[in-house]
Amino acid sequence: MNAILHKDFLFSVNDEEAASTVLELRSRLQEGSLAPYLGPGLLEVAGAEAAIPASPEAVAAALNTRAPAPSRIRTNMWAVAQHIEQRRHRNTLKAWMAEIFAVEPQPTVLHRWLAGLSLPMIVDSWYDGAMRAALKKSGRKDFVSIQGVTRSGEIRDIWTRVYGVDDCQLEDATASQAATVLYEPHGGARPAGNFLVADSDYVEVLTEIDIQTPIPEIVKDRRGALGLLFLGCRFHDQMLRTYARQIAKRSKGPHYAVMNAEALTRNERRFLAENGITLIDMSLQQAVDLLVG
């Protein structure tokens, strides 16, 4: 049944209507009018690689084993990374992040299914690179990945880098020729270890993101004909909400998120409601099973 949860006017579907909605979204994915927005929660579905951290909090814990941070910031990935950068150097932070995500990504059944579709755009908000690996393993040669890069040490006005199937960096203009654009706004462990993870990485990005400067032109162009389907995402932190809001900005819509209604924080409810995102109240595993058939 349709429901409006609390006074947030959060539209939600559950039970049979949720299943029916997911099947409708499956058709939209197949026709290329919906873009998946993937989060670290996908690492917890059946068949995912358990050795890789599946949340910002898990990354913070992994970094803490290498250099303990003050207790007040210990669970905040961005603050812990900033603490390491200030006391150990940026190169140390980058090396440790590469270690944490060193396990070769093992795409889930969902990643493999998505790789077989002609999707104009896929957003992958985690560092592991499972979606990129799935596209490569599918044998496709018609995709590029665009990764966010830190401006630390840069003197150029650069926000992203484009990579081809062979892992070589390409000119930005080549992205428009790709059938599928994989947008990794926070960077990725592969092919070049681009990590936006410390608070300092986001200072200029967050200053400019409201006017969309850090978002690639091809993403701005393609989202105009697309809605977004959030899978494996949480929005309990302002950083996560800001990126999702700005990437969804000026997109066609409508948007959907598969999440457990009971687990939502107040800020997550408000974020979904304010951005007109319909909540599909079901487990991620159930949604994945329905999508891949």
Q: What is the predicted pLDDT for the residue at 6? A: 47
Q: What is the predicted pLDDT for the residue at 243? A: 95
Q: What is the predicted pLDDT for the residue at 46? A: 64
**Could you identify the residue written with the tokens 């939209």?**
28
User: Which portions of the chain are predicted below pLDDT 70?
Assistant: 1-8, 46-50, 152-156
Q: How many domains does the chain have?
A: 2
Q: Is the domain of 84 the same as that of 145? A: no
Q: Is the domain of 13 the same as that of 60? A: no
pTM given for the model: 0.94
Q: pLDDT digits over 15-61, tens only?
A: 999 999 999 999 999 999 999 999 999 998 865 556 889 999 999 99
User: Domain containing 90: what range?
Assistant: 53-100
Q: Is the domain of 47 the same as that of 81? A: no
- Of 185, 160, 186, 184, residue with least CA distance to 173: 160
Q: What is the predicted pLDDT for the residue at 26? A: 98
Q: Is the domain of 67 the same as that of 48? A: no
Cβ burial of 178 (10 Å; 0-12, 13-18, 19+) is: buried
Q: Is the domain of 64 the same as that of 48? A: no
Tell me how far CA of residue 131 lies from CA of 69, 180, 190, in angstroms.
Answer: 31, 12, 11
Q: Is the domain of 27 the same as that of 142? A: yes
The answer to whether the peptide bond before residue 185 is cis (omega within 30 degrees of 0) is: no
Q: What is the predicted pLDDT for the residue at 4? A: 42
Q: Which helix (H) or strand (E) holds 86?
A: helix 77-88
Q: Is the domain of 7 the same as that of 59? A: no
Q: What is the predicted pLDDT for the residue at 154? A: 63
Q: Which amino acid is at 110?
A: L
How many whole angstroms separate alpha carbon 28 and alpha carbon 96? 39
* Neighbour tally for 2: CB within 10 Å: 9
Q: Is the domain of 237 the same as that of 133? A: yes
